[in-house]
Each structure stands twice: as C-alpha cells, then as structure tokens.
Amino acid sequence: MGAEASQNGFRQLKRAVITASLLLLAGVLVWMASRPDSAPQAMPEITRFNPDEVYALDLMNGGAEPVSLLRSGNGWKLKGDGSEGEQEVADADAVQRLLDDLASMNIVRVVTRNPGHYEKLRVTTGSIRVLLKRESGEALLDIFIGKQGSDLISTYLRIGDRPEVLAVDKTLLWQVRRPYQEWKAPAPASPAPVSPDADRSGADGMNEPYAEFR
C-alpha cells in the first residue's frame, strides 16, 4: 500500500508540474502578443528610380571631405564653389555604377529596429549619407550606408529617419568611401614617344618595299 500511495503521489506531482509549465508558457505567449511592439510591422520599401532622373549626387562621408556631383550633358562634374571654372570632370563610369546599384538594390532582411545598434552597424546620422536629387531639387533617395554585411556581398543601410536597419544585396561601402580625388575622371593616356628615326623612310632598307631588289 505504501509503495502504491507513493507512486500515486508522484504521478499527481508530475501532472501538477506539467500543468503549471503549460500555464506559464501560455501566459508568456499572451504577454508577448499584447506588447505594443509586437504588432506586425510593414516591411519598408526602397524608392525605385531611374538613374537618368538623378541630377545631383551628394556624399557626406562622416567628417571626410564631402563629394557633390552634378550631371553635365552625358557626363558628370565635381561641384566646386559653384563657379564653372571650379567644376572638374568626374569619372562617369564610377558615378553610373553607383547609381545603377542604388536603383536596383533589394532588401535581403531587416537587421534591427533598435537605435541602440546604430553605432555598431555605422548607420547613425554621422555616418556616410547618400542623397540623390532631381534637377528640381526633389529628393529621390536619402540613405545612411553602414558596414558591409558578414557575407561580404551585402550592405547595411538605413533610409532617412526610418528606424529599420536593412541588409541590401549590393556592395556599396567601397564605392561611397572613395575620397574626393578618386571621383575625378582619369587623365587621358599620354601618346607613346615617337622615335626620331621613325619617319626616315628606307634609312635601313626596311621601310621601302623590296628595297633589297633595287
């Protein structure tokens, strides 16, 4: 009898522990569902634009020399103090590559919505900011570009004053970190030096056809 009573007591205790655990789990789930920040949040959208719409591109590089580029005909110029003489021709290929990447990038995932992580991911207001504008001055895109993703093929960024830090499917950091001087168009290649003897026709019998038969 004593052994049977002991077994019954153990079973009752086991049932009580299981019931208490289930009630605790249910309570936790109800609490999580009722939190203000637990409501589903819409996935942010990145503004889509045609690179040909962009008239001005500003890069504010967290304390480094800012870069301002203006469309000029089929190319781009680095904006100086506003006078035409201070504008230098920019590397149009580099500008186009960046615009194409910004126009076609897609969100891979939301990394965080917690501002406490902005500094670590380098997407604070003092980080690299990219601002694209139409000729009218209307903003097409305003983003803060942070660290490269751990997969080495994505980039963390934040759109304007939105709280989400996003991972996008482009490697942008190396492009926007280019210093001012590296946005200049490459200098044209110098022509190869011409030998003084290059125009001496037949000087050695090799510049005239069949010279040896004359």
Q: What is the pLDDT of residue 133?
A: 97
Element (H, E) at 108: strand 107-112
Q: In the structure, what pLDDT confidence band is assigned to residue 4 with cuts at 50, 70 and 90?
A: low
**Section 121-125 average pLDDT:** 93
Domain that holds residue 32: 2-38
How far apart are the C-alpha atoms of 190 and 193, rounded to whole Å? Answer: 9
- Residues 103 and 12 occupy one common structural domain: no
96 alpha carbon, distance to own chain's centre? 14
> What is the percent of the chain where pLDDT is above 70?
72
In-domain check, residue 43: no
- Residues 168 and 109 occupy one common structural domain: yes
Q: In the structure, what pLDDT confidence band is assigned to residue 87 with cuts at 50, 70 and 90?
A: confident
Residue 82 above 50 pLDDT? no
How far apart are the C-alpha atoms of 172 and 102, rounded to whole Å? Answer: 8
Q: What is the pLDDT of residue 132?
A: 98
- Residues 55 and 34 occupy one common structural domain: no
How far apart are the C-alpha atoms of 93 and 20, rounded to whole Å? Answer: 66
- Residues 21 and 126 occupy one common structural domain: no
Q: What is the number of structural domains in the chain?
A: 2
- Residues 81 and 142 occupy one common structural domain: yes
Q: What is the pLDDT of residue 45?
A: 83
Top-confidence residue, 33 or 103: 103
The answer for residues whose C-beta is within 8 angstroms of residue 94's C-beta and 6 or more apart is 175, 178, 182, 183
Scanning 87-205, the segments in alpha helix (DSSP H) are 92-104, 118-121, 173-176
- Write out the two tokens for 55: 């008239």
In-domain check, residue 46: no
